[in-house]
Chains A and B, each alone.
Chain A
Amino acid sequence: MRRRLIIALVSILALAAFAVYVDWPGTPGLPLTLGDRNLRDLEVRQGLDLQGGLHVVFQADPVPGQAIPEGAMEAVKEIIENRVNALGVAEPVIQIEGDDRIIVELPGVSDPDEAIKLFKETGSLEIFGTGFVPFEEGSFIDETTEGADRILTGAEVKDASVGFDEIGNPEILFELTDAGGGKFQEHTSANIGQWMSITLDGRVIQSAVIQAAISTRGRITGNFNAQEARRVAIQLRYGALPVPLRVVQNLTVGPTLGQDSLEKSVRAGIVGFVLVLLFMVAYYRLPGLVASLALFLYAALVLAIFKLLPVTLTLAGIAGFILSVGMAVDANILIFERTKEELRSRLTIGAAVEAGFRRAWNSIRDSNIATLITCAVLWQFGSGVVRGFALTLAIGVLVSMFSAITASRTFMRVVVRLKRGHDPRWYGVDSPSAETAP
């Protein structure tokens, strides 16, 4: 018994030390890789409501009556991924939701509106020969337009970039594939002096008179600024979306609001934590002190799990964690109330503590399973924010079973072996009274 107790205590302390090491800010991390994650670099991942950023949900918006082609959403996802990478945002999240939605999350993006335009526009480039008719910039042309002949589509663009002309106006430089270049050469050499129009998503961005034969390299100089030129170049480089998208949800959080909320929540969390500790010690005395120790262990473990998994912390997630601190002591309260009762019925301290833990178990198990059921339902039905809350609450409940039961039982067993640990007053029971069952 004594040996086992020492082993248990040492293991818990080792676990606590490990958790504190993981939690410590700027810790060098672990020389390990877990799956595709390198555990060397341990940071609490902040959700975009904390660090600021963009969360946008796009929905495929095909022409009415048309179905979304098979595999189109996968293609959309890939193209958007490429466009996102061209923006250079750290840790973007891009996922397909349901049959026709794409969620894009960009933490810390500097210009969310521009990013939305970049993703949403199909980016379908077409070049039309229009004979001797100049089409105005901003007008619309498609294959059915009279007098317009499609020479090329964006599928034949190999690369695109932004350049500047002699007087510093932005222009889009593009390079065609060999096949595309052949077609272009053929048309331009045969139609010198005639007009051609370059359209993006059907809208003319430039109309010009063909001066000479052009093959694989061309440039578009339209009425646009550098930012727009960059956007179009990115869209051309990674191809057109197979279906148009529209924004169905957009959440943009500025960096100031996020940091402000984070600081306030952390402060509130610390105050709440201290209040719980004070209450436990004042009300349950010695066991309350043990519960406080267990609560520190709990907080350290949960934070370590957040870092290791990793869990992306949102404001609601922090609220879930803070709430779980309040709930984590519940198991301890159940146990200590039980212990008090057993003490009143004149059991020895050691036996009362053991009985307290044993008899409280059913209640703890059933009630925590009820909370876990709720968390599972929240996870299933919720969106990102709700899921963050459900996940942190569930982790909290699971860890609290360990800290409040296994760890505090070990601590209590150590305490009852101490000389001073035998006075009932330390347990909040003044004298064994004769309160018994009816």
Chain B
Amino acid sequence: MFQIISRRHIYFAISGAVVAISVASLLVFGIKLGIDFTSGSILRLQFERSVTSSEIIQALEDHGVEGASVKTAGENTFLIRSATILSENKAEVESRLQETLGPVEELSFNSVGPVIGRELTRKAFLAVGVASLGILVYLTWSFRKVDRPVRYGVTAVVTLVHDSVILLGAFSILGQIAGMEVDSLFVTAVLTVVGFSVHDTIVVFDRIRENRSQHRDKPFSEVVNFSLNQTIDRSLNTSLTAIFVLAALLVLGGDTIRDFVLALLIGIAIGTYSSIFTASCLLAGWEEGDFRKLARLALDRMRA
């Protein structure tokens, strides 16, 4: 049997450190927002002959399109991001590029106005809030027969916030090193990961609930540890199957949804870790009075 709960201070330290790194990266670098949030446009073009990004930037500037960024996306295929290429002047820009750089095919074009961008940001925050609240309410209700059911709900929500912060932090760092941007699909990924994280946490909590009612004489942390050991195979196996399918999508799927799949993959890995090492430790710690002791310690220090 793995001793997880008795070593919970280690896992608290790991989670605390990773969350701290994520928050620091978010504060320092922020997160690279895609056009869904900032507005602007992305034009995906495939040229017939081989051209370089700098040739494209040069050609764009010659025709008065300033400040565009160009990224390679496959053979002779480029993503051109710009704040000034809009539905109205796109055809003209394309014909100018064609004059300079030879035949070009428009694979896709996506432009988002500022109104839409602001709305998405607002909706994204609202969605994460509503989902968390819904889950908190459902869990508190579902665990109403145990002592202090609200603790189960709160712990699950703290865990999902933990997961989302780390996922955001990961994309903040990826934005710095790989120029990765987040779009509306990223918000979808965060919400899905939230659902998945809670899904995992619930399975462990359900077992705690069941074992608790059968072994009321045992210390709570022992019951939690036993329950964790009973469910750990399942947690790992379920994540493995999800990771199999996502990895297949990441490697073989098209590059239009690759970032989305990557976000899901990272998020699900974090969710699996947290359901085993974070949620249960938090619950056990709360029941055993860790946080009260910690608060008292802090108060004493402050007084001294």
Residues of A within 8 A of B (CB): 49, 56-57, 59, 112-113, 116, 246-254, 256-257, 260-261, 264-265, 267-269, 271-273, 275-276, 279-280, 283, 315-316, 319, 322-323, 325-327, 329-330, 333-334, 337, 341, 359, 362-363, 366-371, 373-378, 380-383, 385-386, 389-390, 393, 437-438
Of B123, B130, B206, B218, the contact of A362 (CB 8 Å cutoff): B206
Q: Is B29 an interface residue (CB 8 A)?
A: no
Binds A, one of B63-71, B181-189, B279-287, B288-296: B181-189
In the complex, besides A250-B87, A316-B188, A366-B138, 12 extra interface pairs with C-beta distance below 8 angstroms are: A57-B116, A247-B88, A248-B115, A248-B116, A250-B41, A261-B257, A271-B252, A272-B245, A323-B192, A371-B199, A385-B188, A437-B215
Residues of B within 8 A of A269 (CB): 245, 248-249
Choose among B134, B215, B249 the residue that contacts A322 (Cβ–Cβ < 8 A): B249
Q: Can you identify 15 A-B contacts, CB atoms within 8 angstroms? A: A113-B87, A116-B87, A250-B110, A252-B108, A257-B44, A261-B254, A267-B252, A268-B248, A316-B185, A316-B257, A323-B246, A334-B203, A337-B233, A363-B203, A382-B127
Main secondary structure of the interface of A (DSSP, over half): helix
Contact of B108 among A247, A254, A383, A389 (CB under 8 A): A254
Whether a CB of chain A sits under 8 angstroms from the CB of B234 is yes
Q: Are B188 and A273 in contact (CB under 8 A)?
A: no
Is the beta-carbon distance between B123 and A381 smaller than 8 angstroms? Answer: yes
Interface string of B44-81 (1 = CB under 8 A from A): 10100000000000000000000000000000000000
Q: Across the interface, which residues of A come within 8 angstroms of B90, CB to CB? A: 113
Question: Which of B105, B142, B195, B264 is the one whose CB lies under 8 Å from A256?
Answer: B105
Please give the distance in Å from A336's CB to the nearest CB on chain B.
Answer: 9
Q: A252-B106, A265-B253, A269-B249 are in contact. Are A371 and B113 (CB under 8 A)?
A: no
The answer to whether B111 touches A247, judged by C-beta atoms less than 8 angstroms apart, is yes
Picked from A260, A265, A370, the residue with its CB within 8 Å of the CB of B138 is A370
**Are A438 and B215 in contact, with the CB atoms below 8 A?**
yes
The reply to whether B254 and A316 contact each other, CB–CB distance below 8 Å, is no
User: Is there an interface contact between A251 and B188, defined as CB atoms closer than 8 Å?
Assistant: no
Q: Is the CB of B230 within 8 A of A341?
A: yes
- Given A261-B254, A316-B185, A386-B188, verify A371-B242 contact (CB < 8 Å): no
Decide: A437 near B244, CB < 8 A? Known: A334-B234, A373-B134.
Answer: no
| Contact across chains for B248 and A257 when beta carbons are under 8 A apart | no
Residues of B within 8 Å of A326, CB to CB, are: 238, 241-246
Task: Decide: A333 and B206 in contact? CB cutoff 8 A.
Answer: no
Q: In the complex, are the beta carbons of B244 and A371 less than 8 A apart?
A: no
Contact, CB under 8 Å: B115 / A59: yes
A367 near B184 with CB under 8 A, answer: no
B200 part of interface (Cβ distance < 8 Å): yes
What is the CA–CA distance of A315 and B210 in the complex, to the nearest angstrom?
A: 40
Query: Assuming the A-B contacts A319-B260, A370-B135, are A275 and B185 also in contact, with contact meaning beta carbons closer than 8 angstroms in the complex?
Result: no
Q: Which residues of A contact B110 (CB under 8 A)?
A: 250-252
Q: In the complex, what residue of chain A is closest to B257 when comparing beta carbons?
A: A315
B residues 227-266 touching A (CB-CB < 8 Å): 230-231, 233-234, 237-238, 240-249, 251-254, 256-257, 260-261, 264
Cα–Cα, bound, A260→B187 (Å):
25
Could you tell me how many residues of chain B have their Cβ less than 8 Å away from some Cβ of chain A?
A: 79
A316 CA to B135 CA, complexed, in Å? 24
A267 cross-chain contacts in B, Cβ below 8 A: 252
Chain B residues with CB under 8 A of A362: 206, 210
Q: Known interface pairs A49-B256, A267-B252, A315-B254. Does A367 touch B198 (Cβ–Cβ under 8 Å)?
A: yes
In whole angstroms, what is the CA distance A265 to B113 when docked? 29
Tell me the complex Cα distance, A365–B26, Å: 36
Contact B241 A370 (CB under 8 A): no
Contact A276 B245 (CB under 8 A): yes
Shortest distance in angstroms between B40's beta carbon and chain A's nearest beta carbon? Answer: 11
Q: Are A315 and B195 in contact (CB under 8 A)?
A: no
Contact, CB under 8 Å: B253 / A268? yes
Determine whether B91 belongs to the interface, using a CB cutoff of 8 Å to chain A.
yes
What residues of A have a CB within 8 angstroms of the CB of B241 in the complex? 276, 279-280, 326-327, 329-330, 333
Whole-angstrom CA separation of A390 from B215 in the bound complex: 40
Which chain B residues (169-224) contact chain A, with CB distance < 8 Å? 184-185, 187-188, 191-192, 194-196, 198-200, 202-203, 206-207, 210-211, 214-215, 218, 222-223
Nearest CB of B to A345, in Å: 12
| Complex partner residue of A265 from B127, B207, B249, CB under 8 angstroms | B249
Q: Which residue of B lies closest to A295 (CB)?
A: B241
A326-B246, A374-B192 are contacts. A260–B254 as well, Cβ < 8 Å? yes
Smallest Cβ-Cβ distance to B249: which chain A residue: A268
Neighbouring B residues of A374 by C-beta, 8 Å? 131, 135, 191-192, 194-195, 198
In the complex, the answer to whether A375 meets B254 with C-beta atoms within 8 Å is no
For B238, give its contact among A59, A273, A329 (CB under 8 Å).
Answer: A329
Chain B minimum-CB-distance residue to A361: B206
Q: For residue B254, which residues in chain A have a CB less than 8 angstroms away from its CB? A: 260-261, 264-265, 315
